[in-house]
Amino acid sequence: TLYAEAATRLLAAGKVAKAAEHLRELRDTAQEALRDMRLLLFELRPPELEQVGLAAALQARLEAVEGRAGLETELRVEGEGRLPPEIEEGLYRIAQEALNNALKHAQARKVTVYLRQDERGVTLEVADDGIGFDPKAVEGKGMGLRSIAERVRLMGGRLEIQSEPGKGTRVRVSVETHKGSWNLMGTRREERHGTL
């Protein structure tokens, strides 16, 4: 409201150019607040994840957040079927964090999400065309990357982060789901015996 009040005073004083500057600042602040609100809403478990699965939840996220922020988005899905709920939620949270990083830090124009599922397992990949970074330079520093690594570890998966300055970033997570390692309840069989 400070920008709006200042613009009102400036308009009353006949200083139209300066008032227009304050109104632009107000618009930019409002757009940033709206973008942050959309991110917060998608931090919660989206209904699509429970109702129709990971691919639909990812598509909804891309349309509601990244698409409205002006990023070109694409979702590519190979394979079908539902995964155990813990795996779907873990992969969604990983994608969410990678997308947040692309939106906030990467200065990307395009983000592509790949989701591949076959008899061996599932692979999630989030790739952007942003400014990239040196993974060794940020190792252990970013909460987002640590959060991704921890989720991958809890799922027993494998994480690869490929990036370099000026060449975008690719986050790839692979989780094996074959040979009965997950039961119909979506929990690891070993959990029943107290080990993981």
Q: Give the domain ranges of the chain.
A: 2-38, 54-189
Render pLDDT for 83-119 as a digit per residue (tens, 0 to 9).
Answer: 888 899 999 999 999 998 888 888 899 999 999 999 8
Model pTM score: 0.69
How many Cα atoms occupy the beta-carbon half-sphere of 162 within 13 Å? 9
Pick the CATH number of 54-189 from 3.40.50.300, 3.30.565.10, 3.40.50.11540, 3.90.1010.10: 3.30.565.10
pLDDT for 43 equals: 62
Q: What is the mean pLDDT of the chain?
A: 82
Render pLDDT for 126-182 as a digit per residue (tens, 0 to 9).
Answer: 999 999 998 877 776 677 888 999 999 999 999 999 999 999 999 999 999 864 444
Residue 78: closest CA among 61, 54, 57, 96: 54
